Amino acid sequence: TSTQDRNVKLALRIGILLFHQDIPMNWLFTPFRLPNHIMNPEPDYFTSPFNKGKIDFFLIDDKETFFPPSVRNRIVYYILARCAYHKEDSDDKNKKGIKRLLNNGTYGAAFPLHDSRYWKASRDPNSESERFSLYKHWARFFSFFKEQPLNLIRKYYGEKIGIYFAWLGFYTEMLFFAAVVGLICFLYGLFTFDDNVWSKEICSEEIGGNIIMCPLCDKTCGYWKLNSTCNSSWMEPYFPVTSQFARTFLSGATVIFWISLIIACIIGVIAYRLAVYAAFASIMKDSPTNNIHMVGSLITPQLATSVTASCINFVIIMILNVMYERVAIWITDMEIPKTHLEYENKLTVKMFLFQFVNYYSSCFYVAFFKGKFVGRPGDYIYMFGWSKLRNEECDPGGCLIELTTQLVIVMAGKQVWGNVQEALVPWLLNWWGSRKARSHPESLYSRWEQDHDLQNFSHLGLFYEYLEMVIQFGFITLFVASFPLAPLLALMNNIIEVRVDAWKFTTQFRRPVAAKAHSIGAWQEILNGVAVFSVVTNVSMAVLKYSRSRGEYSREYSTVENRVDNRIE
């Protein structure tokens, strides 16, 4: 069709731009390279929208391969989406499109076929098996150190999926430098272990061992020695208008309600921390000096409370994510966006805003609010005024060690759960769905039946992939001052993530309809916003740490000495 012709740009015979430049010491990168016939580097051509009337102007070596597979895929879907299926004498002229036939149950599914089985090449030696090449050189885990065949991915799956893997590969490469810097910071802290004067004073028997601190909770907690926090002080790292308005208002109110629900859950977790801390303290106070900490041990009431609260918070995060996902899709559908791009952008903002609050709110509480509103001995501040919920205090070493615990549990738990959900679940579903076909000879198991038994790749499939990576980006930027090893964990995860996604696309999902894209869309602005905000959060954490170590500690030290003198008198 003429409309489709204008949407397909192809190479012209004239004006071929070829660039070639020898790279010094290219042999260093040989182990990471793929064969040229797989990478298939293409020269830069002048392109123009395809026009059947000017076909002689286009560079055509072979009419059978003039349109790459992804373009053929798109053209066929374009025709099916607009082809009328009504009878000649019917008055209903709106009966058109494969989507309506799928919705009314005329067809069970519609999808482009893979070109072959992924585990072996095509039977025709003259036919190129791109799926087999992708599996052999890209989707297997042992190719994790190899470059990605982006041209082949684009040719087989289309530009939208190709851009995702290009972005994911670039992001993973950049993580390498952040991981090196984070590892250096961690090792520096490890090797300068004995040079930290503040921690040495806390841990020494002469200073920290002789300072008796006030109880951290009422009734069940006893007095404790300052040096019992030795471990934490050493580990610490840094439509119509009216209808459109009504729909938009309802959508915004729904998002605000769910964000309020998250905040309520976080308050519940905080109340849990306050309530069970005394219980852990009463269980662990077994030293002769009625010390609530177990001296010389890593297990303290603070650590026990922090770990259990972080685990509970992670479970709540996962449950709320599943529930809100359906709500976000429903309210976005209700807004009736005009284009698919507008739909994705609206859904992106809703989902990211929710998950930003869901994943990071507990981290912000520990980093910036815990220990700031506790009062003083004899005049403590209680949550909701309830005497059993005395506000939490930080260790003398600060709260950042608890922030690290929170980050490790939530970030690592999310990554492990995500990989299981992305790889294991589709494989189990495909294995169960093809159980009947496995008893038939392979010659009777047609290509369309094999592909039909695979999982369907939804139109929001890439959305969730981007969302996962952007949330991870937030973890490694917003709170990296607290956990310098976060980029290293993200790098290790993403090395696996690239191959898991490649394996999933190649072996576990039906071939998706190709789609064009020129960028990663709204995610670009979100990443920029997170990067800018991360500067604020990390500087704030550094300032809080510095002010505590230089000022608050000295004031607490002198106050504690006065309390000890008064108690002795």
CA 461 to chain centre: 14
pLDDT(292) > 50: no
Counting Cα atoms < 13 Å in the Cβ hemisphere of 290 gives 9
**pLDDT at site 85:** 75
The answer to whether residues 369 and 457 belong to one domain is no
pLDDT top residue among 293 and 155: 155
The answer to whether residues 358 and 420 belong to one domain is no
Rounded CA gap, 295 and 395, in Å? 14
Rounded CA gap, 401 and 545, in Å? 12
**pLDDT at site 238:** 44
The answer to whether residues 162 and 232 belong to one domain is no
Counting Cα atoms < 13 Å in the Cβ hemisphere of 317 gives 23
**Of 185, 169, 180, which Cα lies nearest the Cα of 487?**
180
* pLDDT 10s digits, 216-268: 666 666 676 766 666 555 574 445 667 667 777 788 888 888 888 888 888 88
pLDDT(315) > 70: yes
The last residue of one of the domains, among 66, 93, 117, is: 117
**pLDDT at site 180:** 92
**pLDDT at site 311:** 85
The answer to whether residue 273 sits within a structural domain is yes
Nearest-5° Cα angle at 285, 284 to 289: 150
The answer to whether residue 333 sits within a structural domain is yes
**What DSSP element (H or E) covers 246?**
helix 241-284
DSSP string for residues in 309-362: HHHHHHHHHHHHHHHHHHHHHHHHHHH--SSHHHHHHHHHHHHHHHHHHHHHHH
The answer to whether residue 460 sits within a structural domain is yes
Residues 257, 261, 267, 268: what is their CA dihedral angle, to the nearest 10 degrees?
Answer: 150
pLDDT top residue among 557 and 84: 84
The answer to whether residues 151 and 292 belong to one domain is no
Rounded CA gap, 519 and 524, in Å? 8
The answer to whether residues 244 and 329 belong to one domain is yes
The answer to whether residue 403 sits within a structural domain is yes
**pLDDT at site 276:** 75
Show the domain range for 137.
118-195+399-435+445-521
Mean pLDDT, range 495-518, rounded to an integer: 89
Q: Which of the four pLDDT bands, split at 50, 70 and 90, describes residue 122?
A: low
Mean pLDDT, range 422-440, rounded to an integer: 78
Return the top range by mean pLDDT from 43-47, 113-117, 217-221, 539-543.
Answer: 113-117
**Of 421, 523, 517, 542, which Cα lies nearest the Cα of 473?**
523
Counting Cα atoms < 13 Å in the Cβ hemisphere of 148 gives 24
Q: Which of the four pLDDT bands, split at 50, 70 and 90, describes residue 420?
A: confident
The answer to whether residues 111 and 123 belong to one domain is no
Mean pLDDT, range 484-494, rounded to an integer: 89
pLDDT(531) > 60: yes
The answer to whether residue 159 sits within a structural domain is yes
The answer to whether residues 506 and 414 belong to one domain is yes
Q: Which of the four pLDDT bands, split at 50, 70 and 90, describes residue 174?
A: very high
pLDDT(293) > 50: no
pLDDT top residue among 212 and 300: 212
Rounded CA gap, 515 and 81, in Å? 14
**pLDDT at site 211:** 75
**pLDDT at site 527:** 92
Q: Which of the four pLDDT bands, split at 50, 70 and 90, describes residue 396?
A: low
DSSP string for residues in 423-459: IIHHHHHHHHHTTTGGGS-GGGS-HHHHHHTSBP--T
**pLDDT at site 553:** 45
DSSP string for residues in 104-161: TTS-S---PPPSS-TTS--SSTTS--HHHHHIIIIISGGGTTSPP-HHHHHHHH-HHH
Return the top range by mean pLDDT from 64-73, 75-84, 195-204, 281-290.
Answer: 75-84
Least confident of 156-160, 318-322, 493-497: 318-322
The answer to whether residue 527 sits within a structural domain is no
In this structure, are residues 73 and 513 in contact, taking their beta carbons and an 8 Å threshold?
A: yes
The answer to whether residues 223 and 327 belong to one domain is yes
pLDDT(296) > 60: no
Against a cut of 0.85, is the pTM above it? no
**pLDDT at site 275:** 74
Residue 48 sits at φ, ψ, to 5 deg, of -150, 150
Mean pLDDT (the chain, rounded): 76
Q: In Å, what is the CA distance from 252 to each residue of 243, 245, 266, 284, 372?
A: 14, 10, 21, 47, 32
The residue behind tokens 């810097």 is 181
Rounded CA gap, 359 and 414, in Å? 10
The answer to whether residues 337 and 230 belong to one domain is yes
Radius of gyration (Cα) for the chain, nearest Å?
Answer: 30
Helix axes of 159-191 and 461-478: crossing angle, nearest 10 degrees: 20
Q: In Å, what is the CA distance from 239 to each residue of 77, 244, 254, 330?
A: 28, 5, 19, 16
pLDDT(337) > 70: yes
The answer to whether residues 142 and 186 belong to one domain is yes
Mean pLDDT, range 395-423, rounded to an integer: 78
Mean pLDDT, range 345-368, rounded to an integer: 84
Return the top range by mean pLDDT from 42-51, 56-65, 246-255, 501-510.
Answer: 501-510
The answer to whether residues 388 and 422 belong to one domain is no
Read off the tokens for 61. Answer: 């070596």
Tell me, what amino acid is at 17?
L
**pLDDT at site 290:** 41
Q: Which of the four pLDDT bands, split at 50, 70 and 90, describes residue 169?
A: very high
Return the top range by mean pLDDT from 32-46, 51-65, 352-366, 388-402.
Answer: 352-366
In this structure, are residues 118 and 135 in contact, taking their beta carbons and an 8 Å threshold?
A: yes
pLDDT top residue among 196 and 171: 171
The answer to whether residues 228 and 345 belong to one domain is yes
Rounded CA gap, 395 and 393, in Å? 7
The last residue of one of the domains, among 54, 88, 117, is: 117
DSSP string for residues in 92-103: -TT-B-HHHHHH
Other Cβ atoms within 10 Å of 214 Cβ, number: 16
The answer to whether residue 558 sits within a structural domain is no
**pLDDT at site 24:** 55
Q: Which of the four pLDDT bands, split at 50, 70 and 90, describes residue 166?
A: very high
The answer to whether residue 545 sits within a structural domain is no
**pLDDT at site 168:** 93
Judged by DSSP in three states, 12 sits in strand
- Number of domains composing the chain: 3
